[in-house]
Every structure is written in C-alpha cells, then in structure tokens.
Structure 1
C-alpha cells in the first residue's frame, strides 16, 4: 500500500491512541537520561587527570544523552511529554537551559515550522533555508553568495551549531510577547549561572575541555537530524494552493531508520513522518505507532549511510519536483541560454 492511495484515511482517529503522554514513561525517560548524563559529565571531568583520550569517548556518549535531553525539551514544546501544560513549561525551560534553547521562543518557531513545512509560499520560520531555482536566480549576487555559504556543509554543520545555539538563541525574535522575552532572559541567566558556577568549581579550562566537545558533538548531531528530516531524496515541497498537511508529513518528513542504539539516543525522532502528522505523540510512542500501522510503514525509509546523499541537495526545482545540487543551476542557465539562441536564430 502506497501513500498515494490513502486519501480517505481518518488520520486523527488513527493516531489518537498514541497521542497521550504516560506520566510513568515520561518520568522513567527523565531518570534514564538525566542520571547517566550527569554521571558521565562527572566521569569526563574525573578522567582529565588520567588522559584526555579517555575523556573524549565519555563526552561523546554524554553528547548523545544531551541530544536525548533535547528530544524531551522538544516534546515539552509540543505539550506531549506530560499531560500538564505547566509541567511541560517548567521541564521545557530546564531542558532549554541545558540545551541552550529558550523554551517559548523555540516553541513558537517550531509550531510555525510544523504548520508550514514544505509550503513554498510560507516557509522560512524554524526550518532550513531552502530556495527554489527561480527564487535563487532572482536574488542579487551577494544574497546568492550568502545562500551558497549557508548551504555549504562545512558552514551549516561546522559553524551552524555554534551560531544557532550560542548566539542566535540568546536574542528575542521580533514581535515576541513579554512572557516569551522573559523566558529568553531566564534561559540566558540560567546558562550563564551554570557555566559560571562550574568554572568557579572546577576551573574554566576543565569546564571547556568537558563541555566543549559535548556541546559541539550534540550540536552537530542536532543540526544534522533537523537537516535530514526534510532534505532528502523524494522530499515534498508545494505552493500554498496545492500544499497538503498530510502529504507534507508523510512525504516531506523522513523516516530515518537508524540503528537501535542511535534510535534510543535520538528519542525515536527518526519516525519524523509520524511526528509531523501528530506532534502530540510522545517520542516513546512513535516506534509503536509505526510498528502497529501498515500505513506508516509504507513510507520509504532512509538509512544511515544513504542519508549522506542529502549533503548534495541545495535547491528545489519546481519543474522536476526535486532537490538538486548547485551544479544543476549552472546546467539550467546554460539550457536557457541555448533556448534563447535557438529562438533568435529561428
């Protein structure tokens, strides 16, 4: 059964059994994520006196746990981790401090992303900057260069996490309301207070040697996951009049089939097609929803190594309905010149 033959399905009824948080499951996820994270952080600090080659593997595992903490933060933003809105906000703010993400700001931008993902007329908030070929060619040269730099993997995955998590999220978005602004200030103060306290307790060098790789590795992983969730072969983008929420979820959000250990560290976010269909499903029910419904299994999975193909995608061609590389733009311009020349000759 393919996605194209599923127009009459009642999606809300199908997903409803999974869209209810289980308090005990949520508490257990906090325990099995936070406790090993703090233990590994301490172990990494302790190992500095032995060898940094022992410290680095410990920070790599801790970084994986920080990604899992971000998934808890992400669920809190959707109000899907606990039944209580207030509990989600409190835990979301705490995990937001740990992951350098202001809860209210990120929740707003991410909600817009869910409502507009794959919509060529409304994209641009909370997602990867993606232009069509025509949009790109209409830009002035300096902005084309900016887009090319933005889409360069070395910048997107190298400098990108540093800029996003350390700089961009420190400022309020334009038009933010008071509650959102205050939450951003609280997050900034919390980050500074924790960093300052640890620098005072163990020294700034030890703090950077431990927290530095944890931040960088988790940041790289986080940006990569967000990238591959919507930038893959067969992705979905449409103009507003043809755009469909269901198609944007099931065709425009990837099923990233990871090895079980990585699936655990990433909080099942690889089942992104289900998450976009209903963000109210807690991360710990996404796998079950997939396994119990043939309809979700009809989505073609992306594997770990095949996902690397996504690195070549830079721009959306509305005519071919495909993500293309920048080399295609060069061929596209050459074809247009040849067509003009043939037209002039005739």
Structure 2
C-alpha cells in the first residue's frame, strides 16, 4: 500500500473563509426554519380535518428534521473555527445554532476536537458509541454481551437521538447543580477542612460519563447554563404558541429524527469494514484521516442539508476547510483518495455490524 503524505494534498487554496458565504448559509438555514414554523401554525389553526392535518404534518416534520441537521452541521463548522473568518463570529453563531438544537456548542466542539486529534487510534478513541475491544467484550457475561449488542443496534439511533439532544444537556446541568449542592452541604454541616474547600471550585469533578463532555470549566459551565435557560424559555414560548402537548411531541420527533441522522452519519463514517483501527504505537494521523474516514456517495440535496460533511476524508485531513470548499478540495485531490472508503446509501446498514475492535489484529469486526 502506497503511503500518502499530507504534503501531497492540495489544501491551502481551500482554507480561505468567506464571511459573505457564511452569512448566506446561516440565513438560508434559519429563515426557512422560521417560515416552516409559521406555516405549521397556520395548519394547526386552520379548520382542516385531522386526517388532512396529519398528511400535511409529514412533509413539515421531514423539512424541519433536515434543517435541524443542517443547523447542527453549521454549528460543527463553527466549532472548527472554519465557517467565518473571525473566531468571535464562529463562537457567536455557533452558540446561536446550538440553541436551535438545544446543545451547548462550546462543550460539544471541545469533545469533537478530541475525536479529530485521535481518529483511527482506537486505543484512545472508541468512536461515537464507545466500541469495546474484543478482549473487553469476551470478558462480559452472556447477559452483558446481549445488552451490548442491543444497545449498539441501529434501532437505538432513535432513543439515542432523543437522549442526545433533548435530555442530555438538561440532565447534565441538573447533575452538576446536584453535585455542587451536595458538596456545599458536606462543607457546611460536616466541616470539611479548609484545604478541601477549594474542591468546590473544581468543575470537572462533578461529571462522570456520559456527561463528562459538559462543564469541564467555568466557561463551559456558563454556556451550559445560558443554553439551558434560553432553550427552556424558548420551549415555554412555543408551548404557549402551539400548545403544550403538540409542541413537545412535535419538537421531540424532529430532534429525535435529526439526531438519529447525525449519529448515523457520524457512525458510518468511522465504523465500517476495513476501517483504519490501530493501537497508539502504530497509529498515524494522516492514515487515520484517509483510511479511517469514509466518504458518502449521497444525493446533492442531502449533501446540502449535511453541509457537505460526506466528503469526510478531506475534512479530517484539515478540519479548517470551510464546508463550502470541501467538495472542491475533495475533487482536486480525488486522485489521492483511491485508498479511502466510499459508501453508498445501500451500504450504510452494513456498517452497524462493526461494533467490536479487534485490538490484536487492529481492525473492526462484527459480532458473531
């Protein structure tokens, strides 16, 4: 296998960021979302029959799901500081886009950066679903192995999506408040020594997986609090506008489907047959990008909603490439990507078999 180096790729011309294109992408995403919600309200108040309203709601759900996926994809670009020219603009709009999907952008982007730094090194980073090594899997009981299989089944994309966007950011804040209060009570009533009072200010000690990617410092905690306040106030407003039961049900469906799409895309772009899956000592970051990231052969309209993240090998080679330059950069370097994986939509379901890391042979394998 011929070794490809990063210097072989033409990257620099595609690193240029354009504020006009970035603002245009934001506007072309947010305005349709507002318009769709206004149309939805007209459908709700119009004296249509329940059957007619049901049929009209289906395309509305599909459109909002796709636009929700796009807001997340643009938030992802802001996290890489690649959408706008200035870091402050990326932070500001990343925060706003995070509000649409109810997720704190800063904490998410820091966690995502860890993925980029270690992609393909399965000894350190076990993928989006925390894949077990073969040794760890074999050490489980039969019952635990069954639970592992079920919890990694593709059908879990839906409850997992609901948890990821709707529940996790809220539960994360509740847990950190609870732990802080508990520590404060201990300090007050059990007279912890003065030298231990400083522990009250240690934020990252308040979380354990699966919440460890939230609130690791005061800056992240502040955004977690603000995100939750604004999101919950927004939910209250929407409940008064559309009605409590309808909004919560409808919004939950949209976020669940959107998150399921995003988790699915993230998963299949790293878990597939012959994916690059090395130990630390044999790992190379460029090989991790080219051989450990699949590229999706999907329709252009779907690529638009995913902000061209399907050109994933190039994205991992340089995450600073704006999404609006990814396709051109991919095409300019296509001759160097012959070793990369290209997946069609019909092949995606097969990826969900590869949920075990064979750490001795350094490859992903299906469960027998």
TM-score normalised to structure 2 length: 0.82
Give the direction of change, closer, same or farther, for the CA distance of 1:296–1:183 in structure 2 (3 Å limit): farther
Deviation digits for residues 23-57 of structure 1 (CA, Å, limit 9, x no counterpart): 11111111211111211122123223431210121
- Equivalent runs, 1:15-34 vs 2, <5 Å: 15-34=11-30
User: Could you tell me which of 265, 273, 286 is aligned with 2:313?
Assistant: 273
Name the stretch that deviates more: 168-177 or 157-166.
Answer: 168-177
1:184-195 pair list within 5 angstroms: 184-195=224-235
**What number of residue pairs does the alignment pair up?**
321
CA drift at 1:180? 0.6
Alignment of 1:121-270 (within 5 A): 121-124=123-126, 127-139=128-140, 144-155=145-156, 157-170=157-170, 171=172, 173=207, 174=212, 176-270=216-310
- Gaps of at least 5 residues in structure 2 are 174-206
CA–CA separation in structure 2 for the residues paired with 1:152 and 1:146:
10
CA shift for structure 1 position 58: 1.4
CA distance in 2, matches of 1:300, 1:166: 32
Deviation for aligned residue 1:201: 2.2
In the alignment, what sits opposite 1:7?
A: 4
Q: Tell me the alpha carbon deviations over residues 173-224 of structure 1, each in whole angstroms, 9 at most, x when there is no partner.
A: 5571100111111111111011011112221133235423321221211111
Q: Deviations over 1:103-132 (max 9, x none)?
A: 1210111011111122122114x7321122
Q: Which residue of 1 aligns with 2:348?
A: 307
Residue 67 of structure 2 corresponds to residue 102 of structure 1: no
Counterpart secondary structure, 1:166: helix
Q: Given that residues 295 and 343 in structure 2 are in contact (C-alpha distance below 8 angstroms), is that contact kept between their aligned partners in structure 1?
A: yes
Paired residue secondary structure (2:352):
helix
Contact kept? 1:44, 1:59, Cα under 8 Å: no
Give the secondary-structure state (helix, strand or coil) at the position aligned to 2:281: coil
SS for the counterpart of 1:14 is coil
Structure 1: distance between partners of 2:325 and 2:11 = 10
Distance in 2 separating the partners of 1:130 and 1:165: 21
- Secondary structure (helix, strand or coil) at the match of 2:280 reads coil
Q: Secondary structure at the match of 1:10?
A: helix
Distance, in Å, in 2 between the alignment partners of 1:286 and 1:296 is 15
What is the distance in 1 between the residues matched to 2:21 and 2:270? 29
Q: Could you tell me how far 1:7 is from its partner in structure 2?
A: 3.2
Tell me the CA shift for residue 313 of structure 1: 2.1
Q: Which residue of 2 aligns with 1:90?
A: 92
Q: 1:58 aligns with which of 41, 56, 60?
A: 60
Alpha-carbon distance, 1:163 to partner: 1.5
Map of 1:282 onto structure 2: 322
Residues 179 and 106 (structure 1 numbering): CA distance in 2 closer, same or farther, change over 3 Å? same
